[in-house]
Amino acid sequence: MSTAREQPIFSTRAHVFQIDPATKRNWIPAGKHALTVSYFYDATRNVYRIISIGGAKAIINSTVTPNMTFTKTSQKFGQWADSRANTVYGLGFASEQHLTQFAEKFQEVKEAARLAREKSQDGGELTSPALGLASHQVPPSPLVSANGPGEEKLFRSQSADAPGPTERERLKKMLSEGSVGEVQWEAEFFALQDSNNKLAGALREANAAAAQWRQQLEAQRAEAERLRQRVAELEAQAASEVTPTSEKEGLGQGQSLEQLEALVQTKDQEIQTLKSQTGGPREAPEAAEREETQQKVQDLETRNAELEHQLRAMERSLEEARAERERARAEVGRAAQLLDVRLFELSELREGLARLAEAAP
């Protein structure tokens, strides 16, 4: 088949089907992918043809006649009968717009074929056989699905090219027995394959995300266990070291303070007694005894100053012990808060894994 003398006037892409010649009921797809379907005009013979090439052979080679009818059976599927080829062709488009464009062009070509036949029968010259049909290309479209649910129509043919009533009846019977549901399934088979591939990819991604979340969950569990152990250690340390030690030190320091205060009072009394003894009249005072008494007074004052210094040091030590106990309590509180946060995050992660498991097919 040569199209050197023919010129394309319209092209689009669609899934091509032919009626099964054995059963006259099922559609046979011409291929797995959409093919280019074009209208050609033969200026030499004044005829219009619909041609689609698949590989090295012609899938569609249908000459348009005035009595042919292109029928829309759904929003994306259309068909026409070719009695010369003794078959029915079906086209599944990517969108309703592509189907409408093809149907409109079919009507224009059929009208042009009718005018060409009339002029040929009248013996007139055809000065403009193409009748101003615009030659343009429709961009390629993605894979399509055929008839949608609830849009079933029986095949109808108004072709008058049959040689007689018997041939017309046979074509009517063949078209009326077509299964629209099977057309839909076969046309959507390839789209379902793509959807299956996408779902498989999404499932792999979900499995990978689930594995990553499981690793995060294990890490969160390990972190929570470590924080739990840390809190237990801090509580044990606070219970065994800080509180008992602070109480013992406070008790011991309180007793030491009382003893020091009593000792200071005793020494003050001794100092006053010695001062009164040194200041009163004595018979036969001796210089050595006075000096000794004064030395004792000075020693007692020095000792008193040392005791006061020790008292202040113990008070400072008591305050430091109390501050250390407060810091330990604050650290335990912070650790408990951090543990609560980790446990809350762990709970959210578990809920997310549960939702993912429910959503996974």
Q: Where are the domains of the chain?
A: 6-118
Residue 33 CB neighbour total at 10 angstroms: 11
pLDDT tens digit string along 311-344? Answer: 888 889 888 988 988 988 888 888 888 888 888 8
The angle subtended at Cα 326 by Cα 320 and Cα 331, nearest 5°, is: 125
Q: Which two tokens stand for residue 214?
A: 């499981």
What is the rounded end-to-end Cα distance, in angstroms, of the chain? 51
| SS3 of residue 78 by DSSP | strand
pLDDT tens digit string along 144-168? Answer: 333 333 333 333 333 334 345 565 5
Q: Which two tokens stand for residue 225?
A: 């266990």
Nearest CA to 64 out of 52, 86, 43, 80 is that of: 80
0.75 cut: is pTM over it? Answer: no
Cβ(155)–Cβ(18) under 8 Å? no
Instruction: Give the pLDDT score at 285.
Output: 56
Q: Which CATH number fits domain 6-118: 1.10.1040.10, 2.30.40.10, 3.30.70.3270, 2.30.29.30?
A: 2.30.29.30
CA distance 15 to 142: 10
Point out the least confidently predicted range of 92-96, 97-101, 196-200, 353-357: 196-200
| SS3 of residue 111 by DSSP | helix
- Show Cβ contacts of residue 107 under 8 Å, excluding neighbours closer than 6 positions: 70
Cβ(144)–Cβ(93) under 8 Å? yes
